[in-house]
Amino acid sequence: MPASPPPVVTRFAPSPTGELHVGGARTALFSWAYARRHGGQFLLRFEDTDQKRSSKQAEQNILRDLHWLGLTGDNEGEGIPRQSERLDLYHAALAKLKDAGHTYEDNGAVRFKMGQDVSFTDAVYGDVTVPGADLEDFVIQKADGFPTFHLAVVVDDADMHVTHVIRGQEHLANTPKHAALYDALGKPRPVWCHTPSIMNPDGSKMSKRDKAKAARKAAQDATLSQVQDVDQADLAAFLSKDNDSNDIAAAIATQLGLQLPEINVADFQHSGYTPAVLLNYLALLGWNPGDDVERFDLDFLAQHFDFDRIGKSNSKFDRDKLAAFSQDTILKLSPEQWATNLQAHFKDRFPAYVEKLGANFPVFAAAYQERSKTLNDPSVLGRFFVEAPTQYNAKAVKKNLNKNEGEGLKNLQSLRDLLAQQTDWTAQPLHAVIDGAWEALGGKNMGALAQPLRVALTGAAVSPEIGPTLEILGQTETLARIDACLLHCGS
């Protein structure tokens, strides 16, 4: 009777040298989904052999983002392994390879001998054979005594009984080396599954450096020579491409009012995307569920994910499509759930709104549900609710207040007097007040009344429906803004 296959074990093993990139998040998602589909384990590991760049803070940030996405490692309770704490394992493997004649020393480092043909099967790209003549000997231990990625990843995966290695296409070229190491160590090879790359719409690879590239171009276009709180020498190095500091990129973006491209999971969270939307979109970058299905959750993915529907072609990250996914999700929420989600996000990201709006927050949320693509959009569209206008759009003033010998200003003053007498400050009665004033004007042009009011309240001629807008602002604030507008634009 044939032996039953070992239980499925997958892993996600990031280097803790920065934030969690969406490409890494997709790898974690696919690894998690495959393990769940087959009733196996999804393990985490930190590959921190780069001692200069690795940090505990980066580890914490990666875990924070994985937990936000809902991807928890099955071994977190035991303590996540770090390569820096497993040197004994690597030294033992190295000794075994030395004893078998597979290595030689080279300037303090240790190299593994290649030369033989290597064949392996990839779950996406099929059978691969690399001639020995094309395979160079490679370093498996650096001169400082630390293993290289190649040795450590093979030893770790074998020790953790990983059966399926899911990783990016860029590692396909490393697989002959890893296959040779597995064979030399007498360990069973895992199933390798290499996923296609995630590209920008222009065809370039979606990279952590994209923020620096965007900020650098904007700074050069604006002939920026100084940036607040950035050392001149550091700025010069950044502009000449000697470094890609995200801190400098962020400082430039703040000074220029620039929106940097979202690259890391935290970027998308801060931009107001929910985990469900981001995961749904990431899953479709390289994997096709079939039957024209596009919208699904983690439960669906865990039930249906497999390697046979992963494509070989690279995927383009379309932010417009992601935003459309997000907007569709928002529109399907009940008003109550939307208000709850929005308030939780604003408490974290925009607490001034929650404090200022108070009990009127659900009314504010309802005003922007149909107009929002992300949880951040109401903070931009509705900024006037927490910041009274200090300037007024010149075109809006000319068209809506000063035209026809100040007709709009006169209507605004009349409406102000009516609103000052109003005792029920909720949307429906306020609508009735405005309707009554409109009828008093002959019922010909509601814009002659509503638009001057919008200019007074927002500084421009744009706002949500006027009744809820008045209710959210409150009577005292509404009258104060009308008075300020009359004083500023009527003088």
DSSP string covering 425-456, please?
Answer: -SHHHHHHHHHHHHHHTTSS-THHHHHHHHHH
Q: Residue for token digits 């409406």?
A: 415
456: closest CA among 431, 418, 490, 426?
490
Q: Report the alpha-carbon angle 12-18-19, nearest 5.
A: 70
The domain of 94 spans: 86-195
The reply to whether 26 falls in a domain is no
Q: How many domains does the chain have?
A: 4
Same domain, residue pair 214 and 305: yes
Are 109 and 175 members of one domain? yes
CA-CA distance, 45 to 59, in Å (whole number)? 10
> Is there a domain that residue 79 lies in?
no
Q: Which pLDDT score, from 0 to 100, does residue 237 have?
A: 86
Specify the pLDDT at position 482.
94
Asked if residue 106 and residue 164 are part of one domain, the reply reads: yes
Residue among 250, 297, 286, 292 at smallest CA distance from 270:
250
120 occurs within a structural domain: yes
Per-residue pLDDT, 3: 64
Percent of the residues in the chain that have a pLDDT greater than 70, as a whole number = 98
Residue 320 has which token pair? 């417009």
Residue 217 CA to residue 234 CA, distance in Å, equals 16
Three-class SS of residue 120?
Answer: strand
Specify whether 114 is located in the same domain as 160: yes
Instruction: Give the closest residue to 21 by CA, choosing from 275, 263, 315.
Output: 263
Q: Is position 328 within any domain?
A: no
Other beta carbons within 10 angstroms of residue 39's beta carbon come to 8
Backbone φ and ψ of 182, nearest 5°: -55, -45
Residues 435 and 474 in one domain: yes
Residue 147 gets which letter from DSSP?
B
Note whether residue 20 is domain-resident.
no
* C-alpha dihedral, 17 to 22 to 25 to 30, nearest 10°: -140
Residues of the chain with pLDDT under 50: none
Give backbone dihedrals phi and psi of 223, rounded to 5 degrees, phi first: 45, 50
Give a yes or no: residue 10 inside a domain. Answer: no
Residues 253 and 275 in one domain: yes
Four-residue CA torsion sign, 415, 421, 426, 428: negative
- The CATH number assigned to the domain holding 185 equals 3.40.50.620
